[in-house]
Homo-oligomer: A and B are copies of this chain.
Amino acid sequence: MRIIGLDPGTYRTGYGIIDVKGSAYLPVSYGCLESKEVRISGRFLSIYDQLKEILSLHKPECSVVESPFLHRNPKVSMQLSEVRGVLILSLAQLGVEIAEYSPLEIKKAIVGYGRADKTQVGKMVKTLLNLPHIPRFNDTSDALAAALCHAQRQKSILAKYQ
């Protein structure tokens, strides 16, 4: 099973694709969709095109997008939701299944503790995927963590019915 995790951001959206082979998790591709466009419309165009390219290239079967959460600044929550809309549309257009987990659920699944900090998430992602380094941006680690969370959940669901 190939999973893409996405961590929406207003300027930088993390993505992380992993393959699940038995009990092994293998990294396929990870990084950030970035845009230096000042106008929101330009950023959305760019994010949409970049994501479409990645999806066409790596053909994940399912995706995980962090579920919306209320930021301290509601304006930020709304801006992130706009990006989520663009990501969900791109995924739906290519027929990729979409799952959602809250940041808390993802951290709990990966680090075992819902209030884990960014460094702990990065370290666990590096360990679980046997990466040479912790990803440069937290957004990438968070996206990989989302994909890993889904992989673990799927495995426990499968185990339950086998």
Please report A residues at the B interface, Cβ cutoff 8 Å: 40-42, 44-45, 48, 68, 70, 74-75, 77-86, 88-89, 91-93, 98
Contacts and interface: CB of A to CB of B under 8 A. Distances in A.
Q: Is the interface of A mostly helix, strand, loop or mixed?
A: helix
Contacts of A68: 75, 78, 82
Query: Most chain-B CB neighbours within 10 Å: which of A44, A83, A85?
Result: A85
Contacts of A89: 41, 44-45, 48, 85-86, 89
A83 B86 CA distance: 9
Query: Most chain-B CB neighbours within 10 Å: which of A41, A45, A74, A79?
Result: A41
A142 to B, nearest CB: 18
Given A78-B78, A78-B81, A86-B89, 20 more contacts: A41-B91, A41-B92, A41-B98, A42-B92, A45-B89, A45-B92, A45-B93, A48-B89, A48-B93, A68-B75, A68-B82, A70-B74, A70-B78, A77-B77, A79-B81, A81-B82, A81-B84, A82-B88, A85-B85, A89-B89
Contacts of A74: 70, 74, 77
A129 to B, nearest CB: 27
A114 B85 CA distance: 29
A44 B83 CA distance: 13
